[in-house]
Amino acid sequence: MKKKTSTPPVPEFTKNALTVLERRYLKRDQEGVVLETPAHMFSRVAGAIAAADWKFDKKADTKKLGDKFYDIMARLEFLPNSPTLMNAGRELGQLSACFVLPVGDSMEEIFDAVKYTALIHKSGGGTGFSFSSLRPANDVVLTTTGISSGPISFMRVFDVATETIKQGGTRRGANMGILRVDHPDIMDFIMCKADNKQLNNFNISVGLTEVFMIAVENDENYDLINPRNGKVAGTLNARKVFNRIVTQAWENGEPGIIFLDRLNRDNPTPHVGTIESTNPCGEQPLLPYESCNLGSINLGKMAKDGQMDWAKLKEVVHLAVHFLDNVVEVNKYPLPQIHDMTLGNRKIGLGIMGWADLLILLGIPYDDKDAIVLAEKLMQFIHDEGHAASRELAKKRGPFPNFKGSVYDRRGEAPIRNATITTIAPTGTISIIANSSSGVEPLFAVSYVRQVMDDDILVEVNPQFEKIARERGFYSLELMQRIAEHGTIREMADIPPDIQKIFVTAHDISPEVHIEMQAAFQKYTDNAVSKTVNFSNSATIDDVAKVYHLAYTMDCKGVTIYRDGSRDKQVLSTQKREDQTQRMSVDEEKTVVKRERPKVLKGWTYQMRTGCGPLYVTVNEDKAGIFELFTTMGKAGGCAASQSEAIGRMVSLAWRSGVQARQVVKQLQGISCHSPSGFGENKVLSCADAVARAIQSHLADNGGQEIVKEKLAFVKGACPECGGIVEHEGGCAVCHLCGYSECH
């Protein structure tokens, strides 16, 4: 009899997953034509990663191992981080998502770091920095007898470099900027993103110390330390600083906080260096020049008949650890310093996604105590099996080179292959591919509306909810639309109470439960847990303060919060007196007569650079003054051209109806889109912003008064690529429809 051979699984994807794969992951030719299927992508990755076994065993059956790696990816049971899916088996070969670079206190060191950042972002990675070594603003610079411009000034240099590099990549560069709470510039750092118009390529977090937190508890002052000489440079009241952090986070979600002493308490190689920073989403503390390779197990595939399948989970954990250790080996590192530091510690970060899906399959509400208990049990299992798998590898391949002197060595433990094993990362795009919930987050929504081309409305429904609704006979399109409008199914009479209880969304859960869940997973995670604590728009500053205190007392390593709507609106500054003098009564408004257009008008055309190409803005005047505006895009057609034409028509109507030109400028300037152009004062944020600038130029050139810029918040309410809902999770904003992420 012929031996039966198993057929490789054919991956099944949702429409959204296929869209994300085609846009960001699948190999293309120079003309942009897709050259591989998703199955080919998994095969490419599996073969490239399995080939590392030859380095340790010339007789290794890499074909068999590659088949196993392919199977767990094709079945969507495990996926590595995005750079591995994109680049394994291809020329670039850079497979890491996370890097930390040092920033020294000299011009040479600072601009070396800028150069290294550009190289990492070009290769698809994100970078974390501590700016705590930089001397404060206005401090002395002995070599030039000048004064220092301070950390925040140099952060802007990194921000501009990131802005430049990301415009040509498939994966946006992102940064984490951290400053110690005892740095003399800490108050300026806390406020550096207050207007949301700068440092938009940075997440920022304040590095809190145990000394500071004790001072907060006791309402005491604490010392500020000048990093140039280590001397005390002043004092601040700890509670006032803490309250400023909390207030600013309440305002717009930043800064986050990390507990530096806890990161170093769990630093496995203190003899190699001190941890000062994390990757952009905060879950991966790293030494300077260190990188980490991440991957996530899809827990939605780890249940069988309403029960946890522990045997299957063990098998996938061991394969995933083997996979990630091989990634360390075959990776092409962007810098020799990163190569040496990463191979010295061989850190990997095995995490999870689909936690909310698993709870639904097991019939456990996310906000139930049983969920917290299971979280601890599950993560302890993954931790123990992951460490066991790493020790098995160490028997064959040896421990990580810096093992001697490490915490494992000092505790007398058996050799281990990887300095860290577990990390819980946000899984924005790979969870779309896997059709799973993200990381350890709850469901964002049970149902939501998606608007596509030609104004068609599609209702997206959680697949498990739709399946149950159809089976139990309460499914209807009208109900799904109502759920999308409400954002929750709590207290909806059409839905059975037991289903309401299980399908919990992010805003159904108290902030305290978010922290309890984060702490439960953190207890058995080597690195850190990326999670966003969601607040309703009505939450108070005190509510945020309580959560920050709770994160500290429950031994979390950091926390990121997001208050609903705090970054989703444009905030226009108003001048009441001016508005009152210019506001027309209802009767006056009815009597406004639109000026008729003469046959001949005098006009000026201004060429403006935008992220969508050149925009030509023509301003025409009649005898009474400014009259109408036309726009022409350098490349005809498309959404940008049609929107610009619409702006021109509305501006013309406004002017002919008596609205002043400067009022139009006030409404258009500062509007942001996903594709800005230029830098500094010349930065054009959108086509609307370009039109405002053209009008300003016209007014200035023709005797008008130039308008003072208004402070406008960066718009983050909708995805800039597809218009879908942006979810705030893991310290980032992610669209689960098209895969857009502001962090990578």
State which residues of the chain have pLDDT below 70: 1-6, 143-145, 166-173, 449-458, 568-594, 634-638, 679-681, 703-725, 730-731, 736-737, 743-744
Q: Give which of 154, 201, 211 is closest to 180, Cα–Cα.
A: 211
240: left (phi > 0), else alpha (psi -120 to 50), else beta?
alpha
Dihedral of the CA atoms 98, 383, 262, 208 (nearest 10)? 50
Q: Which of 263, 278, 293 is the last residue of a domain?
A: 278
Question: Which sequence positions are flagged as catalytic?
Answer: 279, 281, 283
pLDDT score at 305: 93
pLDDT score at 744: 58
Cβ burial of 590 (10 Å; 0-12, 13-18, 19+) is: exposed
619 DSSP β-pair partners: 604, 629
Q: Which of 258, 278, 298 is the last residue of a domain?
A: 278
Assess if residue 194 is contained within a domain.
Answer: yes
Element (H, E) at 206: strand 202-208
pLDDT score at 585: 37
pLDDT score at 455: 47
Specify the DSSP class assigned to residue 53: G
Assess if residue 301 is contained within a domain.
Answer: no
Assess if residue 30 is contained within a domain.
Answer: no
Amino acid letter, residue 120: I
Assess if residue 606 is contained within a domain.
Answer: yes
> Residues 386-401, buried b or exposed e (16+ Cβ, 10 A)?
bbbbbbebbeebebbe
Q: Which of 278, 312, 333 is the last residue of a domain?
A: 278
Assess if residue 651 is contained within a domain.
Answer: yes
SS3 string of 590-637? Answer: HCCCCCCCCCCCEEEEEEEEECCEEEEEEEEEECCEEEEEEEEECCCC
CATH number (domain holding residue 168): 3.20.70.20
pLDDT score at 641: 78
Q: Give which of 246, 306, 298 is closest to 549, Cα–Cα.
A: 246
Amino acid letter, residue 121: H
pLDDT score at 597: 78
Q: What is the pLDDT of residues 709-743, one digit of tens each?
A: 333 333 345 566 665 667 777 667 777 667 777 76
Assess if residue 334 is contained within a domain.
Answer: no
What's the pTM?
0.80
**Residues of the domain holding 242:** 98-137+148-278
Cβ burial of 624 (10 Å; 0-12, 13-18, 19+) is: exposed
Tokens for 55? 């380095």
Into how many domains does the chain fold?
Answer: 2
Assess if residue 596 is contained within a domain.
Answer: yes
DSSP 382-398: HHHHHHHHHHHHHHHH-
pLDDT score at 586: 36
pLDDT score at 51: 98
Runs of H (alpha helix) within 200-303: 210-218, 238-252, 260-265
Assess if residue 162 is contained within a domain.
Answer: yes
Q: Rounded CA gap, 622 and 595, in Å?
A: 10
